[in-house]
Amino acid sequence: MRKQLTHAALVLMAVAGLAACSPGSAPTPTASAPSSAASPTGTVSPDTETTTPAPSPSAAPVTSGPGQGNAELAIMVKPSETGTPANFTLVCVDGVPAAESQHPDAAAGCTALKNNAALLSPGPRPKDQACTQQYGGPQQATVTGVVDGHAVDAAFSLRDGCEIAAWNAAKDVLGSTGGAV
CATH of the domain at 165: 3.30.350.10
Integer angstrom CA distances of residue 85 from 27, 78, 155: 52, 4, 14
Instruction: Give mean pLDDT, residues 119-139.
Output: 84
Let me know if residue 76 belongs to a domain. Answer: yes
Digit-coded pLDDT (tens) for 60-69: 333 566 788 8
Q: How many domains is the chain partitioned into structurally?
A: 1
Q: Are 66 and 118 in contact (CB under 8 A)?
A: no
pTM: 0.60
Let me know if residue 135 belongs to a domain. Answer: yes
Name the residue range of residue 95's domain.
71-122+131-174
Let me know if residue 85 belongs to a domain. Answer: yes
Let me know if residue 138 belongs to a domain. Answer: yes
What torsion, rounded to 10 degrees, do the Cα atoms 22, 27, 32, 34 define?
110
Let me know if residue 24 belongs to a domain. Answer: no
pLDDT at 177: 63
